[in-house]
Amino acid sequence: MASRYARQMLVSDRLLNRAAALEAFDREVTGFAGSKFKTRMKRCADLAGAPFAGLVGDIDAWAEVIRLDRDDIAHHFGRRMKHSSADQFFLAESLYWLFILCMLRDCQAPAKVYQRIADHQALDWLGHRVQSAVQNRR
């Protein structure tokens, strides 16, 4: 279901859907049903490793911004709608890459896969925007 109470709905749907997928992944891998959202995101970031840390920079600050955006969307607070939807888009993209990296770790992909991802210029381009979005939303 996608209600249309906000202009940014498509972007917020991306963020919420990706966050939910990561929550489910963490729940399945760890077996911890009662963990808080931010704890789950940080565990996933730890699993994803250096390529993800390079993408977002400060993982703790990133996890807090993601938590706030996710809570705002999921609970219809409407507080963060004043922020740029472009920032939310880049944050949603960071969740996408977190999921991809977690899946690769879960599949035990070889180290050269992560190196190729980390070296790709598209990830470098995205990293600057994700880190800027985190700063803008703090």
Cβ pair 64, 38 in contact under 8 A: yes
Mean pLDDT in residue range 53-57: 96
What is the distance between the alpha carbons of residues 92 and 86, in angstroms, rounded to a whole number? 10
Mean pLDDT in residue range 65-77: 86
Cβ pair 65, 41 in contact under 8 A: no
pLDDT for 101 beyond 90: yes
Mean pLDDT in residue range 118-123: 90
What average pLDDT does the structure give for the chain?
88
Determine the pLDDT at residue 6. Answer: 55
pTM of structure: 0.87
pLDDT for 12 beyond 50: yes
Q: 45: exposed, middle or buried (C-beta count within 10 Å: 0-12, 13-18, 19+)?
A: buried
Mean pLDDT in residue range 8-32: 87
Please state which of the ranges 43-52, 73-82, 129-138 shows the lowest mean pLDDT: 73-82
Cα 64-69-73 angle, rounded to 5 deg = 145
**In the chain, % of residues over pLDDT 70:** 88
CB atoms within 10 A of CB 136: 13
Mean pLDDT in residue range 113-128: 92
What is the distance between the alpha carbons of residues 18 and 117, in angstroms, rounded to a whole number? 19
Amino acid letter for position 116: R
pLDDT for 82 beyond 80: no
pLDDT for 4 beyond 90: no
Q: Give me Rg for the CA atoms of the chain.
A: 15
